Amino acid sequence: MVSIGLALLATINGLVLVYFLAINLVYILTSVRALQVIWQYRQRLQAFNLLDPSRARASPPITVLAPAYNEELTCVESVRSLLTLDYPRHEIIVINDGSTDGTIQQLMSAFELAPRPRLATAEIPAARVRQVYQSRAYPNLWVVDKENGGKADALNAGVNYCNTPLLCAVDADTLLERDALTRIVRPFLEDSRTVAVGGKIRVINDCTVRSGIVTQAKLPKNFLAAIQTVEYLRAFLVGRVGWAALNASLVISGAFGLFHRGSVVDAGGYGSKRTTGETVGEDMELVVRMKRLFTDWGRPCKIDFVPDSVAWTEVPESYRVLGRQRDRWQRGLIESLTRHRTMLFNPRYGPTGMFAFPVFFFLEGLGPVIELTGYVGFSIAVYSGQASGAYVIGFFFLAFALGVGLSAVAVLIEEVAFGRYGRITDVFKMFVLAAVENFGFRQLNTYWRARGLLHTLTGKKAWGKMERKGFRAAADTSS
Partner 1 sequence: MSGWFEFLIGRPADQLLSLGEVLVILLVATTMVVLVTLVLACGALLLRRRTVSARSAMTVRHGGWQRSLQAVLYDGASAEDLTGSIAPASGTDFLNFLLLYVRRLDGSEREQICALAEPHLPRMVTLLTHRAAGRRMRAVQTLGELGLPGYGDQVIAALDDPSPLVAMVAASTLARAETPEYAGAVLAHLDRFAHWRQDFLSAMLASMGIGAASALRHALADDDATSRIRAVAADALAALSDPLAADPAAEVLGSSDDIELRAAALRLLASVGRAKHLSVVREHAAAEELPVRLAAIRALGRFGERTDLPPLEEAAREAPSPWVAIAAARALKEGGGVEALEALAGSQHPRSALGLQVISESRSW
Looking only at residues 15 through 74 of this chain, which bind partner 1 when binding is defined by CB under 8 A?
40, 42-44, 46-48, 52, 54-55, 57-58, 60-61
Determine the Cα–Cα distance for residues 299 and 311; give it in Å rounded to an integer: 30
How far apart, in whole angstroms, are the C-alpha atoms of residue 58 and residue 475?
Answer: 36
For position 442 contacting partner 1 by CB under 8 A, the verdict is no
Q: How far is the CB of 356 from partner 1 (least distance, A)?
A: 22
CA distance 291 to 299: 9
Which are the contacts of 64, defined by CB distance < 8 A and separation ≥ 6? 82, 85, 90, 91, 92, 93, 167, 168, 170, 176, 181
Rounded to a whole number of angstroms, the minimum distance from the CB of residue 165 to partner 1 is 9
Per CB under 8 A, contacts with partner 1 among 239-298 are none
118 is a contact residue toward partner 1 (CB under 8 A): yes
Report the alpha-carbon distance of residue 374 to residue 380 in Å, rounded: 10
Q: Which is nearer to partner 1, 248 or 381 (CB)?
A: 381
Q: How far is the CB of 9 from partner 1 (least distance, A)?
A: 8
Question: Which of 335, 319, 333 shows the shortest CA–CA distance to 225?
Answer: 319
The least distance separating partner 1 from the CB of residue 306, rounded to whole angstroms, comes to 15
d(CA 232, CA 210): 23
Stretch of 25-33, 184-192, 232-240, 463-471 contacting partner 1, by CB under 8 A:
184-192
Strands 256-260 and 166-170: antiparallel
x/- mask, partner 1, residues 146-165, rule CB under 8 A, reads -----------------x--
Distance of alpha carbon 243 from alpha carbon 408, whole angstroms: 19
Residues 400-419 that bind partner 1 (CB under 8 A): 400-401, 404-405, 408, 411-412, 415-416, 419
Say how far apart CA 53 and CA 49 lie, in whole Å.
9
Q: Does 145 bind partner 1 (CB under 8 A)?
A: no
Nearer of residues 419 and 464 to partner 1, judged by Cβ: 419
In single-letter form, the type of residue at position 424 comes to I
Which window, 3-11, 24-32, 219-227, 469-477, contacts partner 1 (CB under 8 A)?
A: 3-11
- Is there binding between residue 351 and partner 1 (CB under 8 A)? no
**By CB under 8 A, is residue 458 in contact with partner 1?**
no
- The whole-angstrom separation of Cα 278 and Cα 305 is 26
Query: How many binding residues for partner 1 (CB under 8 A)?
Result: 70
Q: Is 345 in the site for partner 1 (CB under 8 A)?
A: no
Give yes or no for residue 171 binding partner 1 (CB under 8 A): no
Residues that bind partner 1 (CB under 8 A): 6-7, 9-10, 14, 40, 42-44, 46-48, 52, 54-55, 57-58, 60-61, 88-91, 116-122, 139-140, 163, 188-193, 381-382, 385-391, 393-394, 396-397, 400-401, 404-405, 408, 411-412, 415-416, 419, 424, 427-428, 431-432, 434-435, 438
